Chains A and B, each alone.
Chain A
Amino acid sequence: MITLLKRYWDIFRKPAVHYSLGFLTMGGFIAGIIFWGGFNTALEKTNTESFCISCHEMKDNVYKELMSTAHFSNGSGVRATCPDCHVPHEWTNKIARKMQASKEVWGKVFGTINTREKFENKRLELAQHEWARLKANDSLECRNCHNFEYMDFTQQSPRASVQHSTALAKGEKTCIDCHKGIAHQLPDMSEVEGWQ
């Protein structure tokens, strides 16, 4: 085994004899474009709503629930898709989230939530993951569209403007602390702090 690895290492570290430097650099460059481009294209493909709802777990549960909310249907026709809220937009965080998502592939393969009952039983755990993520990044995915700096408090309801100009402005609270369950139904909240 060691000798086999050593032989390949020797081949790897020797300069090329038959190929020109130009061929190797150009070849490396083109191969780089193909592989990197392919990787990014595949990544972007998994970052679309149609990809998410190609699984019935998403289509029949969370997507269906989203459809009746303001984030799907509203007067202005602007809407949020799954990855807008559930995948970070910035590259490094996006890759980190995509690596975490390998767990979701596992779940799909082994049918962790392949019925409505299973999904409902697991809903609290799944929701808590998302709440924790949004709490940790100060509701970044909300803020990608809803910018606190440009909120006109006079346009908000009295309750909303009070909360936004105090707790949110001071950073004591973040969006997800109050706006749980705005895009999907909530799990059984009897064990969740602030909902008893």
Chain B
Amino acid sequence: MKNRFKKFCISGFALLSVTVSILVIAEENIASLRQDTPLNAVNESPAPLQNASNKDIKRGRSYPMQPPVIPHKIDNYQLDLKVNKCLSCHSRTQIEESQAPMVSVTHFMDRDGNFLADVSPRRYFCKQCHVTQIERSNLIENNFIDIQHLLSK
């Protein structure tokens, strides 16, 4: 009886130590945006926001499946349940007058792949994926190669 208890204790301890060591290793290897910055480190105030690029020149994508970026300013564009300023130019009914690129047809699909008559509610908040850009050199180099260029290599 005593022996069995001893065995149980030892195996339990072994299991615990293995779990702890795995956790420690995992914690060290997890890539996070904060990286090594401790949670309690005081954040420096961010640089003031710059004016968004307003050149209306479309940019290529910088990574696979990137949503197209917005090539113009969207300061004070109202985007809430009552108003969608973006769609006042980019909706299917408005593009003829505005000559703006139409919202992609994929945005009319609900999550089951059914096409709706209007933009699907899950795609309504444009700024969730589409963002403006500022005129600046890249902070880090982007070595993304688009699939067409990769295939031709």
Q: Chain A residues in contact with chain B, CB under 8 A?
A: 68-70, 157-159, 181-182, 185-190, 194-196
Contacts and interface: CB of A to CB of B under 8 A. Distances in A.
B54 interface: yes
Main secondary structure on chain B at its contact with chain A? Answer: loop
A159 B54 CA distance: 9
A188 B84 CA distance: 10
A186 B56 contact: no
B78 interface: yes
Contacts, number: 40
Interface in B74-125: 75-76, 78, 82-85, 87-88, 91, 93-94, 97
Contact of A158 (B56, B91, B94): B56
A186 B83 contact: yes
B72 A182 contact: no
A68 B73 contact: no
B82 A187 contact: yes
B82 A157 contact: no
Contacts of A70: 75-76
A182 B75 CA distance: 10
B149 interface: no
17 contacts: A70-B75, A70-B76, A157-B72, A157-B73, A158-B56, A159-B56, A181-B78, A181-B83, A185-B78, A187-B83, A188-B82, A188-B83, A194-B97, A195-B84, A195-B87, A195-B88, A196-B93
Contacts of A196: 91, 93
B55 interface: yes
